[in-house]
Amino acid sequence: MNRKPLSKVLFGLALLAGLLLSHQAIRALDNGLALTPPMGWNSWNKFGCEINEQIVREMAQAMVSSGMKDAGYGYIVIDDCWQVARDAAGNILIDEKAFPSGMKALADYVHSLGLKFGIYSDAGTKTCQGRPGSWGYEFQDARQYAAWGVDYLKYDWCNNGGQNSTAAYSRMRDALAVCGRPIVYSLCEWGSTKPWTWARDIGNLWRTTGDIQDCWVCKKDWGGLGVVQILDLQVGLESAAGPGHWNDPDMLEVGNGGMTATEYRAHFSLWCLLAAPLMAGNDLRSMTPEVRDILTNTEVIAVDQDPLGRQGRKVRDDGDIEVWSKELADGNRAVILLNRGEAEAKIAVKWTEIGYPNKTSALVRDLWLKKDLGKFAGGFSAAVPSHGVVMIKVSP
Ligand code: GLA
């Protein structure tokens, strides 16, 4: 029998293992970022395509002066419409009318305030607003972002030409991995190919639905959804979320004018219970004290940012009345009593529904009143306004 010398076989095996390992090293997302859900501001919900460097600078200033930075917000992200074309060498060109100082100067300014800078592109030929996409330019664009000082990339899915989503998003993941700068990678394929089943090793966060609208319930033909419609689509995705990889039910509409303060409080509470990324989408320069108080409630934000990284889940669904619960690192629970109905309702939760023995006596703190309500045995109940929540922390 013609045997290969053992040394040759071993060498072959070592080579194969080496190849597999180096491939793995590039493929697994291990960028150490977004260990808690990212918090920041994004231009899209309020400004759409009408965005420019002056607005971005003022928004960064307002993030600091409003107390949002102190509450944990850090990323200032420019969404679609900053890019206009490519030059002959394929370099992406910015809209010089809107961004006359250039992206490097803008990133430097944002960094000078102790904040981080984010940008947007698309895995297809064109962005959703018809600007140049990154398909075929992934490595060149990633290098450019790093040179500008970008810390966060939102990557959209318009004009994707029927590509395989995993392959398309992996390509930019691999480009970011070698661009020389840590960049949070935010996938925006609207849940269309179930990213919660494949994106964990590719991105730090992935959109789970179509675009949020500034309404409680409403539906656009093109896929836009209201707050509670998006909420319903998060059920069942819980196990995909954790430190470094989050389900993203889309950016916040708090303060954009289409909902009541009660509804905005509910929207914000639910996003925090879901361990959702908290990207404010309103005009931070002119928000009312009421809106600012919602966005900067540090007790509610602490639920979102809890280091255990559990996404909360619905534990009871009685039609318009729901109870949601999130396990926290210290063993306590954050609980939301949600009233989707048109009239005030009394909502009760039993401790057994949130994983505690029936006889438990627990301290209840109201996270919006910022007040300890006392010790409760067996459970708790409260009157909840229409389209509102009561949000509590339960500590046995
Ligand atoms: C898509 C995204 C939005 C926004 C727009 C920009 O609709 O889902 O979040 O980025 O594109 O064109």
- In this structure, of 5-14, 80-89, 176-185, 274-283, the range with the lowest mean pLDDT score is 5-14
Asked if the model's pLDDT at residue 374 lies above 50, the reply is: yes
pLDDT band at 10 (very low <50, low <70, confident <90, very high): low
Say what the pLDDT of residue 23 is.
Answer: 47
What are residue 339's phi and psi, to 5 degrees? -110, 105
Say what the pLDDT of residue 11 is.
Answer: 63
Residue having the nearest C-alpha atom to atom 1 of ligand 1: 128
From residue 292, alpha-carbon distances to 69, 90, 288, 296, 396 in Å are 12, 42, 6, 6, 31
Same domain flag for 272 and 339:
no
Same domain flag for 348 and 245:
no
Say what the pLDDT of residue 66 is.
Answer: 98
Of 263, 270, 280, nearest to 217 by C-alpha is 263
- Quick one: what percent of the chain has pLDDT higher than 70? 93
pLDDT band at 24 (very low <50, low <70, confident <90, very high): very low
State whether the beta carbon of 77 lies less than 6 angstroms from ligand 1: no
Q: What is the mean pLDDT of residues 36-53?
A: 98
Residue having the nearest C-alpha atom to atom 5 of ligand 1: 128
Residue having the nearest C-alpha atom to atom 12 of ligand 1: 128
Q: What is the mean pLDDT of residues 305-325?
A: 98
**Do the domain assignments include residue 377?**
yes
**Distance from the alpha carbon of residue 127 to the mean position of ligand 1, in angstroms:** 8
**Distance from the alpha carbon of residue 131 to the mean position of ligand 1, in angstroms:** 12
Q: Which of 255, 279, 304 marks a domain boundary?
A: 304
Convert the pLDDT of each residue in 150-189 to its tens digit. Answer: 999 999 999 999 999 999 999 999 999 999 999 999 999 9
Say what the pLDDT of residue 220 is.
Answer: 83
Same domain flag for 262 and 290:
yes
Which residues touch 31 (CB under 8 Å, ≥6 apart)?
A: 176, 177, 182, 183, 184, 185, 204, 244
Q: Quick one: which atom of ligand 1 is closest to the CA of 157? A: 1
* Higher-pLDDT residue of 84, 20: 84
Same domain flag for 249 and 380:
no
State whether the beta carbon of 156 lies less than 6 angstroms from ligand 1: yes
* Higher-pLDDT residue of 357, 14: 357
Q: Which of 304, 336, 357 marks a domain boundary?
A: 304
- 3-class SS string, 173-197: HHHHHCCCCCCEEEEECCCCCCHHH
Catalytic entry in 156, 214, 283, 304: 156
State whether the beta carbon of 211 lies less than 6 angstroms from ligand 1: yes
**Distance from the alpha carbon of residue 227 to the mean position of ligand 1, in angstroms:** 17
Contact criterion met (CB below 8 Å) for 191 and 233: yes
**Do the domain assignments include residue 24?**
no
Same domain flag for 153 and 182:
yes
Same domain flag for 294 and 331:
no
Mutation test residue for ligand 1: of 42, 43, 44, the one with most atoms within 8 Å of CB = 44
* Higher-pLDDT residue of 321, 12: 321
State whether the beta carbon of 128 lies less than 6 angstroms from ligand 1: yes
Say what the pLDDT of residue 37 is.
Answer: 98
Contact criterion met (CB below 8 Å) for 199 and 188: no
Torsion of CA 63, 64, 70, 72, to 10 degrees: 30
Asked if the model's pLDDT at residue 335 lies above 60, the reply is: yes
Tally the domains of the chain. 2
**Distance from the alpha carbon of residue 88 to the mean position of ligand 1, in angstroms:** 27
Q: How many CB atoms lie within 10 A of CB 7?
A: 8
Q: What is the mean pLDDT of residues 345-353?
A: 98
Asked if the model's pLDDT at residue 2 lies above 70, the reply is: no
Q: What is the mean pLDDT of residues 270-275?
A: 99
| CA 226 – CA 236 distance, rounded (Å) | 19
Say what the pLDDT of residue 26 is.
Answer: 45
293 has catalytic annotation? no
Same domain flag for 288 and 342:
no
Asked if the model's pLDDT at residue 15 lies above 90, the reply is: no
State whether the beta carbon of 304 lies less than 6 angstroms from ligand 1: no
Tell me the average pLDDT of the chain.
95
Residue having the nearest C-alpha atom to atom 3 of ligand 1: 211
Predicted TM-score of the model (pTM): 0.93
**Do the domain assignments include residue 7?**
no
Same domain flag for 108 and 220:
yes
Convert the pLDDT of each residue in 201-248 to its tens digit. Answer: 999 999 999 999 999 999 788 889 999 999 999 999 999 999 999 999
Q: Quick one: which atom of ligand 1 is closest to the CA of 129? A: 12
Convert the pLDDT of each residue in 62-107 to its tens digit. Answer: 999 999 999 999 999 999 999 999 999 999 999 999 999 999 999 9
**Distance from the alpha carbon of residue 128 to the mean position of ligand 1, in angstroms:** 6
Same domain flag for 215 and 349:
no
Same domain flag for 293 and 214:
yes
| CA 366 – CA 388 distance, rounded (Å) | 14
Same domain flag for 286 and 322:
no
Q: What is the mean pLDDT of residues 119-130?
A: 98
Say what the pLDDT of residue 223 is.
Answer: 82
Catalytic entry in 79, 141, 151, 211: 211
Write out the residue range of the structural domain in which residue 155 sits: 35-304
State whether the beta carbon of 188 lies less than 6 angstroms from ligand 1: yes
State whether the beta carbon of 44 lies less than 6 angstroms from ligand 1: yes
Say what the pLDDT of residue 219 is.
Answer: 78
**Do the domain assignments include residue 164?**
yes
Q: Which of 258, 275, 304 marks a domain boundary?
A: 304
Q: How many CA atoms lie within 13 A of 353 on its CB side?
A: 20
Say what the pLDDT of residue 318 is.
Answer: 97
**For the domain that residue 49 is a member of, what is the CATH number?**
3.20.20.70
**Distance from the alpha carbon of residue 164 to the mean position of ligand 1, in angstroms:** 19
Same domain flag for 284 and 329:
no
Q: With b meaning 16 or more CB within 10 Å and e meaning fewer, what string describes 37-65? A: bbbbbbbbbbbeeebbbebbbebbbbbee
| CA 371 – CA 361 distance, rounded (Å) | 18
- In this structure, of 121-125, 218-222, 223-227, 375-379, the range with the lowest mean pLDDT score is 218-222
Say what the pLDDT of residue 346 is.
Answer: 98
Rg (CA), the chain: 23
**Distance from the alpha carbon of residue 354 to the mean position of ligand 1, in angstroms:** 36
State whether the beta carbon of 238 lies less than 6 angstroms from ligand 1: no
Joined tokens for residue 11: 């060498």
318 has catalytic annotation? no
pLDDT band at 25 (very low <50, low <70, confident <90, very high): very low
**Distance from the alpha carbon of residue 325 to the mean position of ligand 1, in angstroms:** 30
**For the domain that residue 337 is a member of, what is the CATH number?**
2.60.40.1180
Residue having the nearest C-alpha atom to atom 9 of ligand 1: 211
**Do the domain assignments include residue 50?**
yes
Say what the pLDDT of residue 14 is.
Answer: 61
